[in-house]
Amino acid sequence: MKSLISILDLSTDEILELISTANDIIANPDKYREACRYKKLATLFFEPSTRTRLSFEAAMLELGGSVLGFSEANSSSAAKGESVADTAKTVSCYADIIAMRHFKEGAPYVAAQNATIPVINAGDGGHNHPTQTLADLLTIYREKGGFENITIGFCGDLKFGRTVHSLIQALSRYSGLNVVLISPVELKLPSYIKKDILKENKIPYTQTTSLEEAIPDLDILYMTRVQRERFFNEEDYLRLKDSYILDPPKLKNAKSDLAIMHPLPRVNEISTAIDSDPRACYFKQVLNGKYIRMALILKLLQEAAK
């Protein structure tokens, strides 16, 4: 694997290897402080981000490397009409590895075809977000001890939520998975994911509009934000944005070891009163995201040096 575009570019063994490196980084941070000395990460962000970009930058700095890049399309040559392919070729002359976020589905793939250094997809439109999935997988592994026999509920914008799409792809490879899809009718999971991933792998799934009814069965509840920037009209967004708000009364019948996850940013989907509940895992996900990105940068740079 030279680049990471989709979570399915990683085998299940490679995912376990990344999780084990991340756990080792958490246990022995000093061992890794110089691991990427003199190496440079370019963060090419054509779409806004707080967590993902800063997480990549913090990851590289904690490995002893340095970072360069931009955080909005307007401040890059894309504003002059440069193609993603040319940007990738150019940045290959300056850096050792690229993390790219783009509003266009497939842009990081095009970059990877043209760059001479590894490219990591840091989110492409409503499509994929494999490094958020790695953060989610590390969190599930640390909270649940593995990926087998899990009932997971995805709640909110399952249509445009790229983190949901990538996580379903990743979990589909483990046995005993049960999926509960909780969304307004207008924001249901795209049928290509139901067909190519859930049905193809014979994964049992149910669809509902009721969070309350779904909660008691869940081991993991993965909440998501309604993706305003991908809506065609503001009226629909305003009508759907507060479809689900997780608050303490809704958790009344939840399992005592439920893991509540959210890729963040949160808008209203989770009341802040839940933050102090021991089942809230979303800020752990943020921290885990930095460690797993450290593991990924290390692995891709080691492979590129071979």
CB of 302 to ligand NCD, least distance (A): 25
262 annotated active-site: no
Residue 100, classed as helix, strand or coil, is strand
Q: How far apart are CA 142 and CA 234, in angstroms?
A: 39
Count, residues near ligand NCD per rule CB under 6 A: 11
263 touches ligand NCD (CB under 6 A): yes
In the window 70-109, what residues touch ligand NCD (CB under 6 A)?
Answer: none
Which of 132, 133, 139, 166 touches ligand NCD by CB under 6 A?
Answer: 132
Shortest distance, position 270 Cβ to ligand NCD, whole Å: 12
C-beta neighbour count of 159 within 10 angstroms: 20
Contact pick of 39, 129, 159, 299 for ligand NCD (by CB under 6 A):
129
In whole angstroms, how close is the CB of 90 to ligand NCD at the nearest point?
Answer: 25
Q: Strand locations in 10-160, DSSP E?
A: 40-45, 66-70, 97-102, 119-124, 151-155
Residue 75: φ, ψ to 5°: -95, 15
What whole-number distance in Å separates Cα of residue 135 and Cα of residue 263? 9
Among 40, 102, 162, 293, binds ligand NCD (CB under 6 A): 162
Angle at 36 between CA 295 and CA 136, to 5 degrees: 20
Report the nearest approach of ligand NCD to the CB of residue 156 (Å): 9
Would you call 80 a catalytic residue per the annotation?
yes
Binding-site member from 6, 43, 52, 71 for ligand NCD (CB under 6 A): 52
243 interacts with ligand NCD by CB under 6 A: no
Minimal distance in Å, beta carbon 123 to ligand NCD? 5
Burial of 103 (0-12, 13-18, 19+ CB in 10 A): middle
Whole-number Cα distances in Å, 203 to 13, 113, 261, 268: 21, 33, 21, 30
Indicate which residues carry an active-site annotation: 51-52, 80, 101, 129
Which residues are at the interface with ligand NCD (CB under 6 A)? 51-52, 123, 129, 132, 162-163, 225, 263-265
